[in-house]
Amino acid sequence: MAVLLSFQNIAYALLTLVGYIVVKTIYRLYFHPLAKIPGPKLAAVTTLYNAYYDICMPGLIKHLPAMHEKYGPIIRTQPNEVHVSNLEDYNQLFKVGSRFDRIWHDNPFLSGSLQSKETLPETKARKEFLSSFFSKAAILKVEPYLHRQKLTQFLDTLQQSAAANGGQGSVVDFFLGFRCLTADTIMDYCFQQDLNALAEPEFQSNTVNAFIQGFDLALVATYFPKTFGILSKIIFSLPEHVRAKHFAPLYGFQMMQRLASERVEFVMEHPNESNSKIPTMFDLMLRPDEKKGQVTPSKSDMVAEGCLMIAAGTDTTANVLGLTLWHVTQNPEIERRLAEELKRNIPDRDTILDSGRLEQEGFEYMRAVVKESLRLAYGVPGRILRKVPKEGATFNGQFVPGGTTITSGIYLQNTSPTTFPNPFTFDPTRWLCDPETYNIRERQMQSFSRGSRSCIGINLAYATLHLTVAHFFRRFEVQTTGYTTEWDMDWNDRFVPVPNGRIKGLVRVRAE
């Protein structure tokens, strides 16, 4: 009798569960406030639709163009989420003073950073601390001590590779090389702490390799934040050698956190010992401007800010450099024109110009190459989440109720066929156009996003890109054919674009 009752209870529980799922499915399909917004039925029912494309496939963002083509400029991508594709809608979400708050999925490494600030006042308050630190004037001031030093070290290392085999050159892993350059640069600039990644043989920096693997967990942390947080705490309790060997992606995040924490503690304990020529960003955060209502962030917030700068400043810029190398070396006419411009304006190939000079007359084609690389590197390509205010909002004539998650992203804007004909073709000349057309394309391209929450590191990124591209291609030529394939360069969305393989090439000194 007891066994029979037990089976009955199980049956009732299963029937209740099935009934709940059926009722919830019917509600989401036909009675939910978003029921009239078009999109795949499965996406309207469950978040697993998105998770499948993001975690098991290259990324939902790559599937969205086909969805928009089928369903229109506004589509339902989750039970309580819609995605918009038009630039006008994107601008409504991300313009200065936007009333759409950020939606933040808790992350144990970045919570407390600028990235985690949900409301506009919170974002503005934190950004005021950091804006002067990342201004163009501040970057030009420290360039002789930072960019030139790191760039020279990088170029000298490549010079040794080019001189190998009797001057016939050797194969270099530029995927790692560019990341070592950007990691050393961001660590020195923000922390006054040299990672020494560029000094590692063949750019095999354990720290940079750990950073790279950390991005593999980015989307898992987004979809399963609580589980990710719990597992992180358990794994962090294990011995370091176990974490490094068996949990490399999490170990990468923890290394970022440890580096940031050590530097914050040092600055807090030794407030007057920083190099006056290059103060760290933590020095500035510990000296708030009370007239502006600034308040010193907590130690944990500063550590999170440090983690954000490492993560954001290392991979995105390195991605652009890798993409530039690939497209330039795969297009002889582009490489010829770029090399001629650089030779004409940098007669001595060992000369290092400052980034301010590279923004002046004479380097138009080089800047166009960088611009086109930025367009096709996508920055952070995936969906950027915002919350519709309680009064609701209208997109493309479609009312979206308050509380809805609404998303858009860089990938669709940067590949708009209307603004960028043949959008997946690498064509620097599209930026050598009349001012009106240039401004239209500039407004369409969102590599650094827009508005109050745009990328705070834009000036540092441009300085690094212009300096590296100009002096790298002035001094070296690289053969990527035979060492790197189209498949290697194709990417998966893991918060940042993560390529299938690594860009490698045979490096030689460019003939005068």
What tens digit of pLDDT does each residue of 202-227 get?
999 988 988 888 777 777 777 777 77
- Predicted pLDDT of residue 5: 54
Correct CATH for 119-379+451-509 of 3.40.50.2000, 1.10.630.10, 1.20.1280.50, 3.40.120.10: 1.10.630.10
CA–CA separation, 491 and 102 (whole Å): 26
Q: Can you tell me whether residue 493 is helix, strand or coil?
A: strand
- Predicted pLDDT of residue 89: 96
Global pTM reads 0.94
Answer whether residue 273 shows pLDDT above 80. Answer: no
Identify which has the larger pLDDT, 332 or 110.
332
509 falls in which pLDDT band (50, 70, 90)? very high
Which tokens hold the place of 430?
């599209």
The alpha carbon of 30 is separated from its chain's Cα centroid by a whole number of angstroms, namely: 37
CA–CA separation, 415 and 444 (whole Å): 9
Identify which has the larger pLDDT, 133 or 105.
133
Instruction: Kindly tell me the sign of the dihedral angle through the C-alpha atoms of 453, 456, 459, 463.
Output: negative
Q: Can you tell me whether residue 289 is helix, strand or coil?
A: coil
- Predicted pLDDT of residue 404: 98
Answer whether residue 275 shows pLDDT above 70. Answer: no
Answer whether residue 359 shows pLDDT above 90. Answer: yes
Q: Do residues 475 and 343 touch, judged by C-beta distance below 8 A?
A: no
Residue of 40, 76, 77, 72 whose CA lies nearest to 59: 77
315 falls in which pLDDT band (50, 70, 90)? very high
List pLDDT tens digits, range 91-124.
999 998 899 999 887 777 788 888 888 887 788 8
For the chain, the average pLDDT equals 91
Residue of 369, 368, 469, 480 whose CA lies nearest to 155: 469
**Residue whose pair of structure tokens reads 């490549």 in the numeric block:** 158
426 falls in which pLDDT band (50, 70, 90)? very high
- Predicted pLDDT of residue 254: 82
Q: Which residues lie closer than 8 Å to 294 by C-beta, 6 or more apart? A: 125, 128, 129, 288
Q: Do residues 433 and 420 touch, judged by C-beta distance below 8 A?
A: no
Mean pLDDT of 32-47: 96
CA–CA separation, 175 and 172 (whole Å): 9
CA–CA separation, 114 and 281 (whole Å): 13
- Predicted pLDDT of residue 392: 97
Answer whether residue 232 shows pLDDT above 70. Answer: yes
CA–CA separation, 442 and 360 (whole Å): 18
How big is the chain by its Cα radius of gyration, in Å? 25
The alpha carbon of 320 is separated from its chain's Cα centroid by a whole number of angstroms, namely: 10
The answer on whether 455 is annotated among ligand-binding residues is yes
